[in-house]
Amino acid sequence: MYLESNLEVNILMKSIMLVLMTAGLLAVYFTYSNFQPGISKAPITISSAKEINRDAFENYQYNPLPQKPASLLNVSHGVTLAADQYDHLIIDMGIKDLFEFYLSALGEESLSVILNRIQNVFTSQLPPLAVKEAMALLRNYVDYRIELAEVKNTMKLLQASKGANLNALQEQKNQEAQLRQKFFNHETYLAFFEKEDVMDKFMLTQLQIVNDPELSKQHKQQQVRELELTLPEEAQQIRKKAGQHGELNLAVKEMRNEGANDESIFQYRAQTLGEQAARNLAQLDEKRNKWKSRFEHYVLQHNNILESGLSELDSQLAIDQLIQNSFTAREGIRVRALVNGL
């Protein structure tokens, strides 16, 4: 799949930036969690987050916990942990999925409660030796995510002053790799990050090819095709499917620009993907449009507050109240991240 237009190049750049921004939600949490209901009012900084993580590791006790937050209620993590015949923890992607499942609720409940939830899973599923190893792995993973958030903030300032470019993206990936070497052994790296790194390296190399002014269009196409063949078979199939959906989305966008109505869009999708998929996409369109409308309304009110002449503290309090009144706790984290990136 060769990227033939500047629009497609920009889409891929934004896709990479979205992947690299994941840790930014932690940074937003550290900055704003003192304004979230049910969370300690003390400012949560990078250093204090590490202290919370250290304390959870060193002083764990099995405690009954409050009901899960709204975003996790009636949802199961679906992870079954395992130990080998010598009671050592078996490390696989399921462990990382477990961590991310509970960490996704940052902003809805405190980091200490989230860590306690994960630790309780360890003690309920694993023998003592594996529990000890899982506890250490959790501490390293959270410290890694904290430092990754710090890197993300630094790179964001750099990109704001110099603009996002391939060199900046590559530097961020290099720093990310250094953090992984710092916190994880080779076995954990392979289980947690190898597939992600393969795709990141592919995407960066593809961008380098597409943006090389010395290559002709035909040479770029050839090099991208050869690059795609270096991917694992599973990844090639995923990219092929994603490419088909990307072409469909571009076609739908062109249809909308030409004035096509929802029924025409539905019929086009139904012919391409089937009626059920077309209905699902129509529902997704509706949800996205509602979210876009809510967010645009919030941005308008947010800007009105900033221009109202209130003090910085009163403006921040008014904005926090606006977010609490307009969005769920999890949506509020997303809104803060989006506004932070405007």
Q: Where are the strands (E) in 64-179, listed by range?
A: none
CA atoms of 63 and 9, how far apart (whole Å): 50
Predicted pLDDT of residue 267: 92
Are 115 and 63 contacting, i.e. CB atoms less than 8 angstroms apart? Answer: no
CA atoms of 138 and 140, how far apart (whole Å): 5
Predicted pLDDT of residue 54: 95
Chunked into runs of 10 residues, the chain (342 residues) has average pLDDT values of 44 44 48 40 69 94 87 89 97 96 88 95 97 97 92 72 70 90 96 91 88 89 88 79 78 90 91 89 92 93 91 88 87 80 56
> Sign of torsion, CA 253 257 261 267?
negative
CA atoms of 92 and 82, how far apart (whole Å): 9
CA atoms of 260 and 247, how far apart (whole Å): 17
DSSP string of 193-234, one letter each residue:
THHHHHHHHHHHHHHHHHT-TTS-HHHHHHHHHHHHTTS-HH
Question: Which one, of 196, 232, 195, 228, lies nearest residue 209 by Cα?
Answer: 228
Q: Which residues of 65-91 are buried (b: 16+ CB within 10 A; e: fewer)?
A: eeebbebbeeeebebebebeeeeebeb
- Angle among Cα 266, 269, 271 to the nearest 5 degrees reads 110
Which amino acid is it at 48? S
CA atoms of 325 and 329, how far apart (whole Å): 10
Residues 6+ apart with CB under 8 A from 197: 177
CA atoms of 79 and 95, how far apart (whole Å): 7
Which amino acid is it at 312? E
CA atoms of 327 and 107, how far apart (whole Å): 12
Predicted pLDDT of residue 31: 46
Residues 6+ apart with CB under 8 A from 83: 89, 90, 126, 127, 129, 130
Predicted pLDDT of residue 12: 47
CA atoms of 12 and 155, how far apart (whole Å): 19
Predicted pLDDT of residue 15: 45
